[in-house]
Amino acid sequence: MANGIDDKIKLSAEILAKSKNAVVFTGAGISAESGIPTFRGEDGLWKKYDPEEVASIQGFRRNPRAFWEFSMELMKNTSAEPNPAHYAIAELEKMGIVKAVITQNIDMLHQRAGSKKVYELHGSIEKLKCLDCRKEYSWEDFSDLLQNSDIPKCKHCGSYYVKPKVVLFGEPLPSTVLYQAIEESRRADAFLVVGSSLVVYPAAELPYIAKSNGAKMILINAESTVADHIFDVVFYGKAGEILPKIVEEVKRIKSRI
């Protein structure tokens, strides 16, 4: 087990450089340095909001307005840009090392950083959909309403149940994406987890699937998680500081081969 930060960076870089099928799994923590608040952790939104009320499908149906108030806080930094952690992962994909990114995030920052193969387990904020008539919308369709702190109303059927195409608590995950993510995790020989408390299921099952199929396991998180014991290398720190160092080391190793 490596102890010093430099040893851990070397060991992680060796694992990635040697791998044939590295897979990255990310959570809200990777976007914290882009200014998007996480749910759990020190400045997490659950200190302020009740998840059952604002982020469940039942809560949304009861009170769409409370959901929108919360969502606007989550997205108030809509100008959020990818940070060095997102770029580092995209670079590892470009180098042919990372084969897939599985994310719990809905912010699309991986794609904006250049990652190509991204599985979005919880959907994304790209589009909205009416739960009643299934009509899809883009954000531009409602931009004036939201600017005036009003909530979207379906222009087709008049329903107030128009929500971003993200998975709320109480909703199933998109089954094809989940199936593909399980397959990627099963095939992985190196599995890198970044910024996830590993408590939201079934997403949090994926590291265990990778581990039980023999993958080397790396964790980068600001604080300890419930699953630290399954990892070969554990970093407690900021993803945007650690990941670029790992990429530099991978490049050094590759240039020697």
- Residue 249: strand, helix, or coil: helix
For residues 243 and 194, the answer to whether their CB atoms sit within 8 Å is yes
Minimum distance from residue 30 beta carbon to ligand NAD (Å): 6
Omega of the bond leading into 84 within 30 degrees of 0 (cis): no
Stretches 9-17, 134-142, 183-191, 215-223: which one binds ligand NAD (CB under 6 A)? 215-223
- Residue of 12, 19, 38, 71 that binds ligand NAD (CB under 6 A): 38
Kindly tell me which of 106 and 154 has the beta carbon lying closer to ligand NAD: 106
Kindly tell me which of 154 and 247 has the beta carbon lying closer to ligand NAD: 247
- Binding to Zn ion by residue 132, rule CB under 5 A? yes
CA distances from 31 to 20, 103, 105 (A): 27, 11, 8
CA distances from 223 to 149, 199, 228 (A): 35, 13, 10
Give, as one character, the DSSP assignment of residue 168: P
| Token couple for 179 | 């199936």
Minimum distance from residue 124 beta carbon to ligand NAD (Å): 8
Stretches 22-30, 62-70, 134-142, 176-184: which one binds ligand NAD (CB under 6 A)? 22-30
Give, as one character, the DSSP assignment of residue 173: P
- Binding to ligand NAD by residue 221, rule CB under 6 A? yes
Stretches 32-40, 88-96, 128-136, 208-216: which one binds ligand NAD (CB under 6 A)? 32-40
Residue 213 makes CB contacts below 8 A (sequence gap 6+) with 185, 186, 187, 188
Binding partner of residue 154 among Zn ion, ligand NAD, none, CB under 5 to 8 Å per kind? Zn ion
For residues 209 and 182, the answer to whether their CB atoms sit within 8 Å is yes
Active site residues: 122
Applying CB under 6 A, the residues found at the interface with ligand NAD are 27-29, 31-33, 36, 38-41, 44, 104-107, 122, 195-197, 200, 220-223, 238-239
